[in-house]
Each structure stands twice: as structure tokens, then as C-alpha cells.
Structure 1
Amino acid sequence: MSPTTVAPREQPGDPRCTRAGVPGVVPPESASAGRPRLYALDGMRLMAALGVLCWHWLGSRSLPGVWHGDTAGLMPLGHLIGAYSWTGVQLFFLISGFVICLSCWGRPLGDFVTSRVVRLFPAYWFAVLATSAVLWILPAVWCGHTPRPTPSRILTNLTMANTPLGVDDIDPVYWSLWAELRFYVLFGVLLCWGLTYRRVVAFLGVWAFLGTIAPSADLPLLGLLVQPDYCWYFIAGVAFFLMHRFGPNLLLWSLVGYGYLMAQDRMRGIIGGYEYDTHHHLSWYLTMAYVTASYVLVAAVALGRLDRVRWKWLTAAGALTYPLYLLHQEIGFEIITRLRPHLAPYPTFFLVLAVMLVLAHLVHRFVERPLAPRMRRMLDASFREIRRSAQPPAPGRPGGGRP
């Protein structure tokens, strides 16, 4: 996992913010030099992943084979926490807006694409194949049938773009990756012109406007692109990054505040889907307390309030986040249903959690760490070749680059 680092505080128009004549863009070597790591964000990522895990393992009661569908009776406190911890996804999206802007500021589009591909796909490919293998080999006693995925479904899932094709995820947790991909595409379009303070603020303003009108516009494509239920967290994350880099001001706080107000409104509809899984009413007030805490945590990072958090173990903890998120649901259910007859509920929960953390570490150690650098080198070489082909021929040399 690439480091989460602190950018030096700059002012709009600062001469350091110029590359190739584009104001506000920092050269890659300047952008990466001398930044202390933001350890707090690593910890928040793991906290968000554990929240989603607790939702699936403790909060949801829609699968009768897991805990006999009675987590509320077997683990009342665990169920109370888990019933609302799906809001870890909202924290993920806030962090994503912050980190994406942090990692690609001052870098060309090719570097952004490379960083996202090597970050997302190695562990994802492994998770799709491993989960598919488990679903093929073991009977899914937790849902009463064996949902063996077809070869075509497995291969389509490997693209991470199965949702728009109408192909179900191998593991339902992958739904959020499709939301992330759409955010990356929108931000990648902005990167084509180069990131500047002014352009990013304008981008956030336009996105917020489109997110506001999308629910009533009766334009499915608009809703698909701007994500009116979740765009507010990405927008706030990017605005928090701008505060972190350039300092807070009323305009940035207005973007965050407006997005928060829109998010609480959209939350009224989102809660209903989770009530279906909990089989009981969920409090809007308690849900928004979770979401508000996420905003406060990321704001604290943006304003430097958590700079003193420098526990190096958080780096290792953050590295477990993505593989743990990808693997915990289907495989976790399989393990829980086999241990449950032999152990009490809470010991079962913590033992399976330990197993999944070990598995996440193994995926990071033996899949992500070896594959990511190799993929990065190959993609960097590809983009260098594309850039060379676009350059005019040197004087005295016939021809140009490749067509």
C-alpha cells in the first residue's frame, strides 16, 4: 500500500505549485518529498473495514444459517453495534476522497491510473478467485443452498465492472468498488487538465449541483455517474484534503456543510435497505451520529489535530484493510457456520476475526507486495511509450511517433 503522507501547506498561487506552466500543480518529486505519514488515516481505514465486518457478522439477520439468524438474541450488544456499523462504508468514501487527491496531486493521468490499478486489482483478483473456489468446494449451509458461481460470472467479476453488465458480485461487499471506480473516472477526467486549487473547487461545486438535481432529473446516466446517495462523502473528502494542503476557508467548509446536509437527507432512504437485513427499525439519529463521527475524524486529520498520532503499527494495520474487506463476508460465513456448533457466539466471532486478519496479512504479504511493483513497472513503461509516441520528431529525423 502506498504511503499516506502529509503534503506541505501551500497557498494558492505559491510558485512551488507550478509544473509545466500550470499553476497549482506540484512536480512529483516535490509532492512526495519530506512528508510525514498520516498514520491516523491508516487506523481509520481499518476501523471502517472492521465496522463493515461487524455489520455482516453481527448486524445482519437476513441469512438464517449464520447464528441461526438470531444475532440479536445471541449477542445483544454485538448486534446493537453491528446494526449501525455499515456506516463504515461512508467513512471509507470520505477517506477515499481525501487520499485520492493526496496521492495524485501534481502527477499526470498515467500515474493516477497506475496507482489505482496496482492498489485495487491484485488483492481483488485473488479475492474473486479464492471466494469462488470456496463457494464451489464447500456447501453454503448459511443460506440453505450452494450458490456456485458460473465460469462466466467469475471472469466478468475479474473486470470489477460486472455491475453495469447486470452480473452479480461473487461477494456482495464488492458493490462499493463500483462506486469507487465511478469516482476515479470523474476525477481522472479532471486530471486530464491538471489539478489546481481552482479547478478542483469548481469540480466539487459542479458535482454537488449535479448530485442535487440527479434524483429528480429522470436521467439514469446522470444518477449513475454522480451517485447522489454517496457523492457527498467523496466531495467532503476532497474538500478536507484542500483544507489540509492549503488551509481551511469558508468556501471549503460550505462544500463540506452542504454535502453533510444532503447526506443526511439521502440517509433517510438508505436506512430502509439496512432495516430489511436487521429485521427491525434503525434510528436515523444514531445512524447520523456514526456518520457525523466519521466527518469529525477526517476533519481532524485535515486540520492537523491528529498529526501527533505516529504509532507505526497503524501502517501494518492499514495494510490489512483492503484484503480483509474483500474476503470477510462469504469466506467468513463459511467458517462461522462450521465453528458455531462447537464454540459460544463471542469466542466464535473473535476466533474467526483472528483467522481473517491472518488471511488478510497473507494476501498483503504474498499477493499485493509481490504483484503491485511488477504491475507498476509494466504500466509505467506503457505510459512512457505512449508519451514518447506523442512527442514531435527531433529535428532532422523523419517521421514521428507511432500512430
Structure 2
Amino acid sequence: MHVKPARQDYIATLDLLRLAAAQAVVIFHYFFRGAASGGALVEGYPLVATLAIYGYLGVNLFFLISGFVIAWSAEGRNWEQFAMARFVRLYPGFLTCMTITFIVVASVGAPLFSISFAQYAANLSMFAPAFGQPFMDGVYWSIVLELVFYGWVTLALFTGVFQKRKLQLIFIWLAISALNEFFIGSRAIRMLLITEFGPFFAAGVLVHHIHAHGRSQVALLLLAASFLLSCGTVSVTRDWMLNEYGLAVSQPHLVIANFAMHAMLICGVLLRSHVQPSALTLALGGLTYPLYLLHQNIGYLAINAAGPLVGKWAAAFGCVALMLFVSWAIWRYVERPVQRMLMTWLGRAVEVTLARFRRASAQAAE
């Protein structure tokens, strides 16, 4: 990797990686988890289940990509700009998809799923379990971890640590992650400092640092450490899967898959000039967020309904196609317009609020 001459606005290969990660999770849910966990799907897919089980690692790939993209987004921005950009990026799509899921499940979800308005209201916060309610869809757990990561980056930008002490901060984060995952085992620390998945976020940040500022021995060593640590933390999920499903990816295969994911991110950055940005790549990347949020519970209901009519395979693949189309439509006709409007409105509101705060501070100092 080398120092880039100027900041790019868009790397098409990362959007293709996002799509691959989202599709991996969809495959995991439709072809493995749906039948393996509580019988959400009436019929399973044993012929492909042993391959589909690897799809859950798409979430880990998402975290790798997120580390890169968030470091990129934070570069040259102050904390207000970063926080506003992240809110605008996440909340409109979340609100839309969560509301659609609520309407569909409330209408046709019984007896497979039960739902209430209290659950919907709690999910408006994106932190439903904090209010004693379950997520509208189980996939939302990873969005919470993303938000925690964004919160720490915002704090690091506010204090200036991100700009001046990024590598030292990552070293401390990796050290805490190792201590908690292998020795302490605190659930509170795991949630607050995302120690289980921290090495993936950290690796993404480090790949961006090397991409933007050039190779250094410290950055390369930290990247190697984050990879090695992530090889250990993926076993935590493996243990959970063994308890939940009685089946899990073997440890050697997890290490190979983990190496492949890190290589995919690095290759995606290195090969960025070979995939030119286009309306297609932008759309493929844009639809991944609504696809991730929408596909699980609604997909289970759709496959169960269509299976007896067209067969389980046609139902599953038809559902994938439907979810891709609906997700694209949400991105194109809801997310993008609302994001543009919100960015303009929030930008003005933040500017006015900060100006008033500065005037009040100056008057108090006189």
C-alpha cells in the first residue's frame, strides 16, 4: 500500500465487498439458521447447510470494512461533522426498515413471531434491550456494536486523540480486548469496548491508516496483532454456535476464513483503480444496509408462505431476489432523498447551535 495523493470520494471495490458480506449473511440465515434455530423455516436445506454456515462471518467482514470506512470518514472532520454524518447515514434506513418489519410481522407474523407497539417504540432508539424489549429483528445486534464504535470515534475526535494518538489508542484497545476475551471475560467490558469484535474494527482502521499515510513498522505490527487476536476471538462465536446449533465451523477453517476476509479488504483497497465507480456499484453498495436490516424475519415468513406453492428452493432464491429489489428501492427512493434533506437541515441546526454556544461561552468569560 502507498500514500494516496488525494482523498477519494468513493472506492467501488468496498461497495462490492459490502454486498458480498450482506449476501453471506442472507445465505446463512436462509439456508442454515432458518431451519436450525427454533424452526423459523418449515423446511431446511441440508444439501448446502454445511457451506451456508460460513455466512455468519459476513458480519465480521462488515466490521472490517466499517473500521476502514469510519477512519476514512473521520479523516479531516471534526467530531460534530462526523457524528452528524453517521446519524444521517444510519437512522433513516434503520427507521424505514424497522417500520416495514413491524408492519409485516404484525400483519402476518403470528404464530411464528409476536410483536407489540411497545417493542416498536423501544426499537426507535436502536437500543431496544436497554428498554427491556427485544430487537425488532435479531440482526440489529450488530448495528448496536457499530453505534458503540462510532461513539468512541466521536469521543476520540472530540479530544483530539484520534488525530494525534490513533496508533497508541489502537494498541490500548487491542490490549484490553485480549485481556478481557482471554482472561477477564466481563460482559460489560465486552459490550462497552466491543472487545470481541474490536480487532476487526481495529484492523480496518489500520488498513486505512496505511493506505492514507503509508507503511510504518508500528502500523504493520498492530495490523498483524489485530489479525492474530481476531483469530482467537472468533472462537467465542464458535462456542456459542456449538451450544445453539450443535454445529460450528472448525477452528482451522475459521482461521483460513479470517485470513481471507482480511485479504479481501486489503485487496479491495489495492485494486480500487481496477473497478471504476459507477451508478451500478453505488447502487449495489447502497442496498446492502436495507438488505441486512430487512431480510431475516420477513424472509422467513415469505419463504414459508411461498414454499408450498413453488418449492423451497424457488422460494428461497425468489426471496433473495425480492429482498435485493426492495432494498434497492428503499435506498434509491427513501434513504438517499432523506439523507440529503437531513444533512442540509442538521448542518444548519448544528451550525446555529454551536454559534450560540460560542457566543454564550465568550460572554461568560468576559
Give the TM-score normalised by structure 1. 0.83
**Structure 1 segments unaligned to the other structure (5+ residues):** 1-5, 11-30
Residue 400 of structure 1 and its aligned partner are, at CA, apart by 3.9
Q: Is the 8 A contact 2:13 2:271 kept in 1?
A: no
Distance 1:219 1:110, change over 3 A: same
Residue 271 (structure 2) aligned to one of 284, 289, 305: 305
Residue 203 (structure 1) aligned to one of 166, 169, 176: 169
The whole-number CA distance in structure 2 between the counterparts of 1:201 and 1:168 is: 37
Map of 2:337 onto structure 1: 370
| Cα-to-partner distance string for 1:253-300 (whole Å, 9 max, x where unaligned) | 211211111111122221122234544343222223222111001122
* 2:45 equivalent to 1:71: yes
Map of 1:155 onto structure 2: 121
The whole-number CA distance in structure 2 between the counterparts of 1:156 and 1:389 is: 32
* 2:143 equivalent to 1:177: yes
Distance 1:36 1:191, change over 3 A: closer
Residue 251 (structure 2) aligned to one of 284, 292, 295: 284
Residue 243 of structure 1 and its aligned partner are, at CA, apart by 0.7
* 2:71 equivalent to 1:101: yes
* 2:53 equivalent to 1:86: no
- The amino acid of 1:256's aligned partner reads L
Q: Is the 8 A contact 2:161 2:169 kept in 1?
A: no
Residue 190 of structure 1 and its aligned partner are, at CA, apart by 0.5
Secondary structure, in 3 states, of the residue corresponding to 2:64?
Answer: helix
Residue 266 (structure 1) aligned to one of 218, 229, 233: 233
Secondary structure, in 3 states, of the residue corresponding to 2:274?
Answer: coil
Map of 1:234 onto structure 2: 201
| Cα-to-partner distance string for 1:74-109 (whole Å, 9 max, x where unaligned) | xx1x32321111000000000000001111211111
The whole-number CA distance in structure 2 between the counterparts of 1:52 and 1:265 is: 21
| Cα-to-partner distance string for 1:32-73 (whole Å, 9 max, x where unaligned) | 6xx2631100000010000000110012111325142x321x
Distance 1:378 1:197, change over 3 A: closer
Q: Is the 8 A contact 1:62 1:277 kept in 2?
A: yes
Residue 127 (structure 1) aligned to one of 97, 105, 123: 97
| Cα-to-partner distance string for 1:192-240 (whole Å, 9 max, x where unaligned) | 0336654111211111122122243465543322122100000000000
The whole-number CA distance in structure 2 between the counterparts of 1:108 and 1:247 is: 23
Residue 249 (structure 1) aligned to one of 197, 201, 216: 216
- The amino acid of 1:361's aligned partner reads W
Question: How many equivalent residue pairs?
Answer: 360
* 2:31 equivalent to 1:42: no
Higher helix share: 2
RMSD: 2.4
Identity of aligned residues (%): 25
Residue 242 of structure 1 and its aligned partner are, at CA, apart by 0.3
- The amino acid of 1:179's aligned partner reads L
Map of 2:24 onto structure 1: 51
Secondary structure, in 3 states, of the residue corresponding to 1:192?
Answer: helix
Distance 1:350 1:147, change over 3 A: closer
**Structure 2 segments unaligned to the other structure (5+ residues):** none
Give the TM-score normalised by structure 2. 0.91
Distance 1:276 1:67, change over 3 A: farther
Question: Larger relative contact order (C-alpha < 8 A, sep ≥ 6)?
Answer: 2
The whole-number CA distance in structure 2 between the counterparts of 1:181 and 1:90 is: 15
